[in-house]
Amino acid sequence: MMRLFLVLSLICSALTFTEAHVVLETRLTNASFEPGQTIGITWFILVDHDQIDWNLYFSQDGGDSWEPIEEGLPIEQLSYDWIAPHLESDKMLVQIVQHNNVTENYFDISDTFKIHSVEFTPIFDFDREPLPADISP
What CATH number has the domain spanning 19-115?
Answer: 2.70.50.50
For 57-77, the pLDDT digits (tens) are 999 999 999 999 999 999 999
Residue 32: HSE in the Cβ half-sphere, 13 Å Cα cutoff: 5
What does pLDDT average to over the chain? 84
pLDDT at position 12 over 60 = no
pTM of this prediction exceeds 0.75 = no
Element of type H or E holding 18: helix 2-18
For 86-130, the pLDDT digits (tens) are 999 999 999 999 999 887 899 999 999 999 998 766 666 666 676
Q: How confident is the model at residue 50 (pLDDT cuts 50, 70, 90)?
A: confident
